[in-house]
Structure 1
Amino acid sequence: MRKESLKFLEKLLDAPSPSGYEQPAQRVFREYVAPFCDELTTDVMGNVFARVAGQGENLPRVMVVGHTDEIGLQVKYIDDKGFLYFAAVGGVDAHLTPGKRVNVHTAGGPLPGVIGKKPIHLMDTKDRETVVKLESQYIDIGASDKEEAQKLVRVGDAVTFASSFTRLHGDRVASRGFDDKAGCFVVAEVLRLVKASGRKLNLDLYGVSSVQEEIGLRGGTTSSYSVNPDVGICVEVDFATDQPDVEKKHNGEVGLGKGPILARGANINPRLFELLCETAESEKLVIQHTASPRATGTDANVMQISRGGVATALVKIPLRYMHTPIETVALSDLENAAKLIVATLDRITSRDEFVPK
């Protein structure tokens, strides 16, 4: 991967962005894509829109979107001893949280803490087999009492897991937040590659970094309404099934490093799906497939049914260990997803070509 692109990816992943608290990551996105677009705006929700004008008039509008928000925690209550009780932002697994290091994002900056856990020596046998509910878990920031803790932390402060970008063997990397900063990264790289080509597209391109996907596709809903695209490509992550404990019957045969995934089903425009497949074959890009018989739980879902309807596709990045602090991807899948989308944009000439016949 290009050195500057990898540096951007690391910086994007490091920036905290639980749903509703995305702006540290959005600032990173805006700074990176600014040289690659003709217009850069942010709406009241916090969605970022990077527009690249095409050549001509009355061009089809194409929106490529990835969401920048990640799962996290939020401070709900501070007890008399200065311990912080919290709630989940998005789908947080209560199995994983005890014993984890966290950062509480306060007005004074990130404050380190740990999620405490009763020692196994002091637990009854039945308690060792029980998952402690999130509402009963707590964060220790080292405060001696409530008064001291309240000088540092406010109720409502966001919390993220303390995890760093880690290079594994080959081109595999691990970090928190690849769901869906992987998609956000691909959107940025699409803009960069379009700019680097020096060519004007036969369409108006909108690269969108959306917000609040993890709590109900909220930014995807409002950004789709604002852009009013004719064609939409959502870039997301999907469950890799090449780890030992995941059933292939659930999500098909999907592996890291084997290319981006194209979803097929009711949420996907058939002609746009075929165009992506044809482009992959022409460009000699390896792709994978998954079936999505119902509405997908992604921004593609709300994009498709925005206003009068949008021709929608879903390009996904294989991901291991979703919603953990060590989500793992292959860098080549990110690069090839961006290449596939850019090559597909070159083949879009009319908004009418995606109307079913």
Structure 2
Amino acid sequence: MKTVKELSLGLLSELAILPSVPFYESLIQAKICKILNQYSISYFFDSFGNIIAEIGQESDHIDPIAFVAHMDHPGFEIERNLDGKLIAFPKGGIPQFSLNHETKMFSFNELGERIRCTISPNSENPKTVIVNSEDLIEIGAPLTFDLIDFQIKGDKISMRSADDFAGCAAILTNLIENLGKVERKIFGVFTRAEEVGLIGARLIARDEIIPKNSIVVSVETSSVIPVIKQGNGPVIRTGDATYTFNSFAENLLRVAANQLKDRDESFMFQRSLMSAGTCEASAFAANGYLTTGIAFPLGHWHNAKTNIPDINGGIDAENISLNDFLNGVLLMI
């Protein structure tokens, strides 16, 4: 039997090799479903293609918990051929460097086949880029940054899409580890198109796809801010750039964290309002759900080497702390 560490890192490495862009999440969708099937975990798709997995039993006395993460990552989509030039538009909060400098990319299809290419600035429309490739790339193809899929060095996990494949892997680990052991209903919710406006999460919350009495826990990476350090533990998230979350929901995480700390003095966690961006908990909070969050402090958010607005900052793999990730998984279990 695998340890929690072996299971969670194995799942993360399996997801990490899969490229994903908003509305082009089919590869990671298929992989998540394969893993759920492997462990006989029940799941269904909603009408938008979000995946809702569930374990445990309904209870009249204990509210369900729904752990939520998203399956997409910022990139580009080729939308037209203009006088022989392929023009691509951003999908999500891409680094401004990529709109202003030649940048290595690759396109991919539903089979996972990759075609390497570059993008360069489009002087006629600075909000778009020109795609350059020696091979044929079709209109409608998604593009993602040509960066390392997955690597662990010391306490650092580097990957193209830590945001939010780390959250997806953590939730899968939670479902697998708790299968047949819990007295409450636990949902694992894997959403689409978060990077372009929390679309998947908003639709689930609007339509009450999960019960309204569910306590919703966003499991995200979130850019490092001055009061938060990588390596000091996962962050119990009190809010994001849009909402302050619910104290009752947060208390469930704080009690669990303190219990872990009592059993193991090496366990570390942090607590903060992570204000760099808006996470999916806000979509549920806006629709009346009790929400909280767990965040893995993130370096190179959205693959920006310095910060997203920096037009000269460069492109690099995202990174999180290995110990932060493992402690976050333990906190969820």
**What TM-score comes out, normalization by structure 1 length?**
0.77
Q: Give SS of 1:262's match.
A: strand
Q: Distance in 2 between matches of 1:31 and 1:106?
A: 19
**Residue 80 of structure 1: how far off its partner (Å):** 4.0
Q: Provide the C-alpha distance between the structure 2 equivalents of 1:74 and 1:278, rounded to a whole number of angstroms.
A: 44
Are the aligned partners of 1:74 and 1:157 in contact in 2 as well (CA < 8 Å)?
A: yes
Q: CA deviation at 1:314?
A: 1.0
Q: Specify the alignment match of 1:210 in structure 2.
A: 191
In structure 2, how many angstroms separate the alpha carbons of the residues matched to 1:222 and 1:41?
A: 15
Superimposed CA distance per residue, residues 258-306 of structure 1 (whole angstroms, 9 cap, x where no aligned partner): 1111122553111222231122111113111222689x61110111232
Unaligned 5+ segments in structure 1 are 119-126, 144-151, 242-247, 343-357
* Aligned with 1:193 (options 144, 169, 177): 177
Match status 1:274 vs 2:251: yes
Q: Are 1:37 and 1:51, in contact at CA under 8 Å, matched by a contact in 2?
A: no
Three-state SS of the structure 1 residue aligned to 2:96 is coil
Partner residue in 2 for 1:328: 319
Kindly name which structure, 1 or 2, has the bigger radius of gyration based on alpha carbons.
Answer: 1
Distance 2:76 2:116 in 1: 14
Tell me the distance in 2 between the aligned counterparts of 1:293 and 1:181.
20
Is the 1:61–1:229 Cα contact (8 Å) retained in structure 2? no
- CA distance 1:117–1:311, shift in 2 (3 Å): closer
Distance (Å, rounded) in 2 between the aligned partners of 1:302 and 1:37: 29
Distance in 1, matches of 2:212 and 2:325, equals: 24
Deviation at 1:159, TM superposition (A): 0.9
Q: 1:56 to 1:90 in 2, by over 3 A?
A: closer
Which of these residues, 231, 235, 256, is aligned with residue 261 of structure 1?
Answer: 235
Q: What SS does the aligned partner of 1:237 have? A: strand
- One-letter amino acid of the structure 1 residue matched with residue 114 of structure 2: P
Indicate if the aligned counterparts of 2:150 and 2:160 stay in contact, CA closer than 8 A: no
Contact 1:272–1:311, Cα closer than 8 Å, also in 2: yes
Relative distance call for 1:84 and 1:107 in structure 2 (3 A) is: farther
* CA distance, structure 1, for counterparts of residue 297 and residue 61 of structure 2: 36
Distance 1:267 1:36, change over 3 A: farther
- What are the within-5 Å matches in structure 2 for residues 83-162 of structure 1? 83-96=85-98, 98-106=101-109, 109-116=113-120, 133-135=126-128, 137-142=129-134, 152-162=136-146
Q: Is the 8 A contact 2:13 2:150 kept in 1?
A: no
Superposed displacement of residue 34, structure 1: 2.8
Give, as a single letter, the amino acid of the residue that structure 2 aligns with 1:87.
F
Hey, what does 2:271 align to over in structure 1?
289
SS of residue matched to 1:184: helix
Of residues 291, 298, 301, the one that matches 1:312 is 291
Residues 99 and 11 of structure 1, relative CA distance in 2, 3 Å threshold? farther
Q: What is the distance in 2 between the residues matched to 1:335 and 1:25?
A: 21
- The answer to whether the 8 A contact 1:37-1:50 is kept is no
Q: CA RMSD in A?
A: 2.6
Alignment TM-score, normalising by the size of structure 2: 0.82
